[in-house]
Amino acid sequence: MAEKKAIRPDGDDPGPADVTGDGQFRLLADSLNVGILVHRYFQPLYANEAFADLFGFSGRDEVLEFSGIDNLFTKESQDAFRRRHEARLRGEPAPSEYILQARRLDGAFIWVNNRPVRMDWEGEPAICTTLIDVTERVLAQEALKTSEDEYRRLFENAGEGLFRSIPEGRLVAANTRLAEMLGYDHPRALMDAVSDIGRDVFGDPQVMAEMAAGLKQGRHVDGAEVQWRRRDGAEIWVLLSIRGVREDDALPMFFEGSAVDVTARREARRNLIKAKEEAELANRAKSEFLAHMSHELRTPLNCIIGFSQILMEQMFGPLGHDNYREYVGDVHTAGHHLLNVISDILDISKIEAGELEIADEDVDVAATMVNCMKMMRERSDRGQIVLATELANHLPKIRADGLRIKQILFNLLSNAVKYTPPGGRVTALAFLADDGDLILQVRDTGIGISEDDMPRVLAPFEQIRDSYIVAGEGTGLGVHLTKVLTELHGGRFGIDSALGEGTTVTVTLPKARIIVDDDEEAEAGAAG
């Protein structure tokens, strides 16, 4: 029998192997749990049970009956298998270990680590190959590579700048967006240029130094707005977030961060603030102008109203024709209306300037309401509207600005009459609530207010218009002024209305403003 050569365990091909007898070789090969195959030109000469199991054969005998063992491998692996097998038989150099993809008899794909050596078998050259199943390892490596590729795509295509730096400040990773943000053509160029991100990128290196100190202590940087410097020296502002990556409780191995260019947003915000300041300045100028013009107009208007009053009363003799008296009455009425408009504008100007103040005094609410009703009588009669008053008995006085309380009631009554069609009813009420607050209320059977129109009603210079309101007179300031004046007294203002069903406006003044008579206070003390 021909002399056999030993197979070296490291897989290197030392040339002809020295195996002392087929029996010893088979005994050794059969005891291994890795596939052993001896073949010559892809015809199997020997196979152990582990090889048969690996490829799905029923046993080693079935392997020996299998023609063309290279057909167990995929086309790409088959080509490599054949080239290296033939080269090895010719004694030429060939890789001592490589991975092949094979297909079991049941059709399942597997990956095997192939370690072939040349040997003599029955006096002729043959190849002894060791095959180890590495399918799980290969699949794990492919999954890892796929994951890395996906991560790299996400990293490169992210809409924000991403980077990694070591604690000393050198960039070790950067994506395309970060490079573009800082004026570089490629991330590699950025990383080559930046040896210290704090010194080379930050507008103020101390900012990065303070961040790094906090990161080393385990803190994070979340959405910090910092100034960076581009390659061309231009300054930009970025929204920066950074985390330290560490093992256990050790110092960070490196920092990972993201940056979003907010230069345009910051500029827009600055412009918005500037525009707001300019608008406020213009608004103050408008308020000052209105206040000045209101005072300028009031003086001649008071003269017009006063002289028209004299003419109406014919204090210095008859006017003559009746038309003169009618015209004088129109002048007087128009003057009063214009004076009210100017007064409202002046009050709005004071409110916007924060200069409107209330002067507290003792106010008889019942008398004030009756007085306002008398003032509205002529207008309600002209509009064929019924005016009614419902005042609680023994209604107390309050500490308030008498002029402003009158203004509140007059505005509410004026609006109610204005928006109530002929034949309607307007009712003024005053009573104490169960919790002791004073309630002033005006109800009408007018056109009502839709839910969509409610915000407009409460805004200055807005009013609801209806086809029956021919003149549409008014500034639209009444409701807004009433609400502000109520709140200046510490009260609450509310509107309850439905389109076509009328409106109820409620002014609630706190019980702290109610003046308690000495007798009532004494009775309350005795009861306590």
CATH number for the domain harbouring residue 227: 3.30.450.20
What confidence score (pLDDT) does residue 467 get? 41
Lowest mean pLDDT among 285-294, 295-304, 413-422, 490-499: 285-294
Does 43 score more than 70 pLDDT?
yes
- Examine the domain organization and report whether 396 and 440 are in the same domain: yes
Mean pLDDT of 371-390: 90
Q: Does 73 or 25 have the greater pLDDT score?
A: 73
- φ, ψ of residue 355 to 5 degrees: the values are -110, -5
Can you tell me the distance from the alpha carbon of 443 to that of 386, in angstroms, rounded to the nearest whole number?
Answer: 12
Count of the separate structural domains present in the chain: 4
- Share the mean pLDDT of the chain: 82
Tell me how far the alpha carbon of residue 475 is from its chain's centroid. Answer: 39
Terminal alpha carbon distance of the chain: 130
HSE at residue 428, side-chain half, CA atoms within 13 A, is 27
Does 184 score more than 90 pLDDT?
yes
Q: Which among 340, 357, 358, 348 is positioned nearest to 284, based on CA atoms?
A: 348
Can you tell me the distance from the alpha carbon of 212 to that of 197, in angstroms, rounded to the nearest whole number?
Answer: 11
Residue 357 sits at the vertex; the CA angle it makes with 351 and 362, to the nearest 5 degrees, is 140
Can you tell me the distance from the alpha carbon of 46 to that of 367, in angstroms, rounded to the nearest whole number?
Answer: 124
Can you tell me the distance from the alpha carbon of 127 to that of 42, in angstroms, rounded to the nearest whole number?
Answer: 9
Q: Does 105 or 281 have the greater pLDDT score?
A: 105
Mean pLDDT of 392-404: 92
Q: Does 432 or 295 have the greater pLDDT score?
A: 432
- Ramachandran area for residue 223 (φ above 0: left; ψ -120 to 50: alpha; else beta): left
Lowest mean pLDDT among 67-76, 157-166, 295-304: 295-304
What confidence score (pLDDT) does residue 10 get? 39
Does 397 score more than 90 pLDDT?
yes
- Examine the domain organization and report whether 348 and 365 are in the same domain: no
What confidence score (pLDDT) does residue 290 get? 65
Say if 519 falls within a structural domain: no
HSE at residue 355, side-chain half, CA atoms within 13 A, is 10
Say if 152 falls within a structural domain: no
341 touches 475 (CB < 8 A): yes
What confidence score (pLDDT) does residue 244 get? 86
Say if 218 falls within a structural domain: yes
Say if 507 falls within a structural domain: yes
Can you tell me the distance from the alpha carbon of 239 to that of 259, in angstroms, rounded to the nearest whole number?
Answer: 6
- Examine the domain organization and report whether 256 and 183 are in the same domain: yes
- Examine the domain organization and report whether 501 and 417 are in the same domain: yes
172 touches 162 (CB < 8 A): no
What confidence score (pLDDT) does residue 521 get? 52
- Examine the domain organization and report whether 333 and 222 are in the same domain: no
**Residues in Cβ contact with 296 at an 8 Å cutoff, skipping those fewer than 6 apart:** none
Tell me how far the alpha carbon of residue 343 is from its chain's centroid. Answer: 44
Say if 1 falls within a structural domain: no
What confidence score (pLDDT) does residue 237 get? 93
HSE at residue 105, side-chain half, CA atoms within 13 A, is 13
- Examine the domain organization and report whether 120 and 169 are in the same domain: no
pLDDT, tens only, 402-454: 989 998 999 899 889 988 999 999 999 999 999 999 999 999 999 988 888 88
Say if 275 falls within a structural domain: yes
What confidence score (pLDDT) does residue 480 get? 82
Confidence label for 189 from pLDDT (cuts 50, 70 and 90): very high
Can you tell me the distance from the alpha carbon of 28 to that of 7, in angstroms, rounded to the nearest whole number?
Answer: 11
**Residue where a domain terminates, one of 83, 107, 139:** 139
- Examine the domain organization and report whether 230 and 109 are in the same domain: no
HSE at residue 29, side-chain half, CA atoms within 13 A, is 24
User: Looking up tokens 């969509």, which residue turns up?
Assistant: 452
- Examine the domain organization and report whether 29 and 111 are in the same domain: yes
pLDDT, tens only, 355-367: 678 889 999 999 9
Confidence label for 26 from pLDDT (cuts 50, 70 and 90): confident
Confidence label for 378 from pLDDT (cuts 50, 70 and 90): confident
Tokens (6 digits) for 315: 């204090």
Say if 368 falls within a structural domain: yes
**In angstroms, what CA-CA distances link 180 with 162, 202, 244, 263?**
11, 16, 24, 14
- Examine the domain organization and report whether 62 and 204 are in the same domain: no
Type of residue found at 351: I
What confidence score (pLDDT) does residue 282 get? 78
What is the H or E stretch that residue 127 is in?
Answer: strand 124-133
- Examine the domain organization and report whether 208 and 102 are in the same domain: no
Type of residue found at 391: L
**Residues in Cβ contact with 9 at an 8 Å cutoff, skipping those fewer than 6 apart:** none
Q: Which residues of 30-45 are buried (b: 16+ CB within 10 A; e: fewer)?
A: eeeebbbbbbeebebb
**Residue where a domain terminates, one of 332, 352, 372:** 352
CATH number for the domain harbouring residue 491: 3.30.565.10
Does 148 score more than 80 pLDDT?
no
Burial class (CB in 10 A: 0-12, 13-18, 19+), 264: exposed
Type of residue found at 458: L
Can you tell me the distance from the alpha carbon of 236 to that of 261, in angstroms, rounded to the nearest whole number?
Answer: 7
Confidence label for 167 from pLDDT (cuts 50, 70 and 90): confident
Can you tell me the distance from the alpha carbon of 364 to that of 395, in angstroms, rounded to the nearest whole number?
Answer: 8
What confidence score (pLDDT) does residue 291 get? 63
Type of residue found at 402: G
What confidence score (pLDDT) does residue 518 get? 58
Q: Which structural domain range is residue 388 located in? A: 361-513
- Examine the domain organization and report whether 189 and 47 are in the same domain: no
Cross-strand pairs, 119: 126
What confidence score (pLDDT) does residue 526 get? 47
Tokens (6 digits) for 391: 């005042």
Say if 521 falls within a structural domain: no
Q: Which among 417, 418, 413, 403 is positioned nearest to 346, based on CA atoms?
A: 403
- Examine the domain organization and report whether 495 and 370 are in the same domain: yes
- φ, ψ of residue 81 to 5 degrees: the values are -60, -45
Pairing of strands 254-261, 235-245: antiparallel
Can you tell me the distance from the alpha carbon of 528 to that of 525, in angstroms, rounded to the nearest whole number?
Answer: 5
What confidence score (pLDDT) does residue 9 get? 37
Q: Does 52 or 480 have the greater pLDDT score?
A: 52
